[in-house]
Amino acid sequence: MSKKEKRYFDFDNPYDSKFAHKVNVIKTYLQFLIGFILIGILAFKGLFEVLQTVELLAPNKICSIVQHFLDIHTFSYIANALAISAGLELGYMLFTNGPDEAIEPLMLGVTSAAFYTLSANSGGSWVLGVYALSILVLMYCIKKYNDWELGKKEQTINRPSSKYSIKIEDESDGTLTVDVENTANK
């Protein structure tokens, strides 16, 4: 087995196994599914509201499914989708090596809480300002994490090299001159 070939269960480095990669793929597809379902529900809600606004949908002839779509609280549905997505991200974090995977689910969770607050209290609240500040702090943490390159798997250490340049010159009087120079510190 070559070094580049990954195994499903690598007991030396389980974070670099095929299993961890498969979990990431499953998480991504589940989040796509959540997004598609949310977009579909909100698109139907928007369509039914437009039809109701232009009076193509009579209020007394609305079936129960259409009425259900019209009764949807948009921010509440968005908050639920973000909360489920944050749960998936936090679950995936258990299969990764490093704290960088914990920051994004926290951002999703804070955003979800902000949408819950907004759906419950449409008049605004000082709590939304705290949520916005929390998201800014988490975004700053992600930026600093990336700037400091903490997420790199392999970090190189600058060590003095043992590379030398040897120059041999033949002098006219029959002597040899040998210059040895360390090229690593240039």
Query: How is residue 173 annotated by DSSP?
Result: T
Residue 6 lies in a domain: no
Residue 140 lies in a domain: yes
**Which of 33-37, 66-70, 97-101 is predicted most confidently?**
33-37
Q: How many CB atoms lie within 10 A of CB 150?
A: 12
Residue 3 has pLDDT above 60, yes or no: no
Residue 75 lies in a domain: yes
pLDDT on residue 93: 86
Residue 25 has pLDDT above 70, yes or no: yes
Quick: pLDDT tens for 115-164.
Answer: 888 888 766 678 888 888 988 898 888 888 778 776 555 444 444 445 55
Q: Rounded CA gap, 13 and 110, in Å?
A: 32
Q: Which amino acid, 163? A: K
Q: Rounded CA gap, 130 and 156, in Å?
A: 40
Quick: pLDDT tens for 54-81.
Answer: 888 777 778 888 888 989 999 999 999 9
Residue 21 lies in a domain: yes
Residue 98 lies in a domain: yes
Alpha helices in the chain (DSSP H): 18-53, 64-70, 74-93, 100-120, 126-147
Number of structural domains (the chain) is 1
144 beta partners: none
pLDDT on residue 166: 60
pTM above 0.75, yes or no: no
Residue 23 lies in a domain: yes
pLDDT on residue 155: 44
User: What residue numbers bound the domain in which 63 lies?
Assistant: 14-147
Q: Which residues contact 42 (CB under 8 A, 6 or more apart)?
A: 72, 74, 77, 78
Given a contact cutoff of 8 angstroms between Cβ atoms, the answer to whether 7 and 21 are in contact is no
Residue 171 lies in a domain: no
Residue 160 lies in a domain: no
Per mean pLDDT, which range of 6-15, 26-35, 82-91, 127-136 is the poorest? 6-15
